Amino acid sequence: MVPEKLINEFVERMRAAAGTNLLAAILYGSAVAGDYVADYSDVNLLFALRETSYAAIETVVPAIEWWKKQKHRLPLLMSAEEMRRSADVFSIEFLDMRRHYRVLWGEDILKMLEVPMRLHRAQVEYELREKTLLLRQGLLAVAGNNRNDDAKWDLLLRSLSAFGTLFRHALIALGDPASGTKREAANILADKTGIDTSVYGQLVDIRERRKDRKSVKVDDMFARYLKLLEQVTSAVDKMLDPTV
């Protein structure tokens, strides 16, 4: 289901546009991990450049415009030095990249990247809080109209990947290797915190079409999901706070 042909064509267009400024093209995330779901998963691409000036970015705009027309997520453009210097503040992102990635062209710049963990715990809490706030805003935008059930489902199902990642990183911050799937991470987190995370697994089943969403009410699922996110965020805050 991963659009390999489109990805390869995009890489070739980027190579032609960037020329010697391109160091590497890397595919990462669900498209490599094996849990890519069409309509919900993103194609995550990183292009490492020697330099990222305005002029350098302008040269790859035609290739990017072509990719946009394919309705896929825009890639990340970073320099190798930028990656090295920002690994501490993007610890979640780079740890996840290194967990599942494939070099499509060029250097394996992730292999030697060191990811400092001193800010990881704070980033996990920040991301949990920020994404919960954004989910509430999204709910406000579609609430108040019973015909908007499809929009509510879309909000829920599209958020699963991001929150599943944060559940796994909450475990990492707590000293757990968290090497399993996002569903497994939610289950382990339930064991460690005593929080009922079953709604997450049910939503994953709906996204993977193992469960018919017509069998449940979207408002009930949304209420349980928001409660779960609030409880997990509170637990992470308290369990990782050395002053408690």
Q: How many angstroms separate the Cα of 69 from the Cα of each of 10, 63, 64, 176?
A: 11, 10, 9, 41
Tens-digit pLDDT profile for residues 183-210:
899 999 999 889 999 999 999 999 989 9
Bridge partners (DSSP) of residue 49 are 22, 79
Note down the domain range covering 177.
Answer: 120-240
Q: Is 118:222 a contact under the CB 8 Å cutoff? A: no
In a domain, 149, yes or no: yes
In a domain, 113, yes or no: no
State the pTM of this model.
0.83
Tens-digit pLDDT profile for residues 210-229:
999 999 999 999 999 999 99
Tokens of 180: 């399993």
Q: Is 131:124 a contact under the CB 8 Å cutoff? A: no
**Same domain (yes/no): 32, 80:** yes
In a domain, 142, yes or no: yes
In a domain, 115, yes or no: no
Rounded Cα distance, 26 and 23, in Å: 10
Rounded Cα distance, 42 and 52, in Å: 24
How confident is the model at residue 81, as a pLDDT? 94
